[in-house]
A and B are shown apart, each in its own frame.
Chain A
Amino acid sequence: MKPASFNYHSPSTLEEAITLLARFAEDDGRILAGGQSLTPTMAFRLARPGHLIDINNIEDIKAVLVKKDKLVIGAGVRHAKFHEPVCDGPLGLLLSRVVENIAHLPIRLRGTFCGSLAHADPASEWCAVAATLDAKLIAKSTSGEREIEAQDFFETVMTTALKENEMLVEVHLPLLPTNTKFGFEEFSRRAGDFALTMALVVWEENGGKIKNARIGLGGVEDRPRRILAAEEILNNAVPSDEVFRKAAEIAADNVDPIEDHATPANYRRDLVKALTRRACEQASM
């Protein structure tokens, strides 16, 4: 399990990184962020990039900043940064709640938020967050910058809308109003394992009623997404066990789960039902 040969580049500025990426994209040149997914893939020789462009030595992409109504997460920001809330208000708390579920501490100390999105594992927590909150992803290449909506970014298992010469330089998450409630639930076999299913539920509570509900699922289908039909059940409803149960059922009815040798579609559907309900309950507490 020794990786195949590659050339190594360690730029110190973002511009340099993008120029290198453009130059080596043809030869499967890739960004090396936290390396927590790429390195094992290379160890199995399932990936054999000709060039790696290590972005760990670029200092000015390591910040999380609040800019107006959004949170801007740079390409160098590691999972562990979210252990403590990165901003005031519900979003910072939400991200701290979610991050505990990602892998293990040593992996969180290296892996990056943007790397998770670029890697696009269907069971990645950050991908689910991005899909649920309608994140905007900023892709940059030598020919310019573009903004990609989360729902367009995730195409299928480990496949994104990023072009070979594009680097994901920032992710923008909308700040959440103070009346936001959220719940996150996932089921994995052991601590730190990729989840079999996860549910993130976010809403605003107004006059005792649910507004702007978002229900996002990860690990269920080939990519994370919001389940609009289930959100409709929540919107304008008064939070109650019955409403949560109903929303969970609708969510389960509206997914097309991936299957593997051990896991029939129905099993994941059951998880969707249970975890969505629990996430709603958690949000309402």
Chain B
Amino acid sequence: MEKHDIKLTINGKVYDVSVEPRRTLVDVIRDQCGQTGTHSGCEHGVCGACTVLLDGDPVRSCLMFGVQANGKEIRTVEGLAEGKNLHPLQQAFTDNHALQCGYCTPGFLMLAAGVLEKNPDISDEELVDALSSNLCRCTGYANIITAVKAAAEQMRAG
């Protein structure tokens, strides 16, 4: 099968890669661009571990082919912090013990970042609904909600 030359922008950096069409976006990000912060927990769209921001939208990178992201702006967990300064969500996750094994964490961080950027004044109920998208097997979720609420407040305060 013919490979396609594509250009992905991940966290502001351009990657020129040649991909087989069948390579999923998560595999291209991880294996061909070397950005292994994005995880893959199911490869069938249920767990959300692979969530990245695609032109600002939180999407599941296992449910897209890499070739489809040609020319798009992708943001992953590696791009959240600015140098040594953690993103408010990252800070809130560690402050509130919102991670144990940390496998689901990149997906939750990107989901929450996407949701809060779109809707900074989101209600608690809407937030739980949005965060119910992703699975975490360790924490029982309570601390994740607490952390995202704390970060939302912080982000609103600026």
Contacts and interface: CB of A to CB of B under 8 A. Distances in A.
A and B touch in the complex (CB under 8 A): yes
Interface of A: 1-8, 10, 32, 35-36, 39-40, 42-44, 52, 54, 56, 100, 104-107, 109-110, 190-192
A39 B22 contact: no
Contacts of A35: 63-65, 68
Given A110-B63, A192-B132, A105 B58 contact: yes
B82 interface: no
A40 B59 CA distance: 14
Nearest to A190: B132
A106 B51 contact: yes
Given A40-B44, A43-B44, A54-B68, A104 B133 contact: yes
B47 to A, nearest CB: 11
B40 to A, nearest CB: 9
Q: Is the interface of B mostly helix, strand, loop or mixed?
A: mixed
A33 to B, nearest CB: 11
Contact of B133 (A39, A52, A105): A105
B2 to A, nearest CB: 7
A106 B64 CA distance: 12
Nearest to B56: A109
B63 A39 contact: yes
Contact of B2 (A7, A43, A100, A105): A7
A10 B2 CA distance: 14
B62 A8 contact: no
A100 B44 CA distance: 21
A3 B67 CA distance: 14
A5 B51 contact: no
B101 interface: no
A110 B44 CA distance: 14
B45 A40 contact: yes
B73 interface: no
Given A107-B133, A191-B132, 19 more contacts: A3-B22, A7-B21, A8-B4, A8-B21, A36-B45, A40-B44, A40-B63, A43-B24, A52-B65, A54-B68, A104-B48, A104-B130, A106-B133, A109-B57, A109-B59, A110-B63, A110-B64, A190-B132, A192-B132
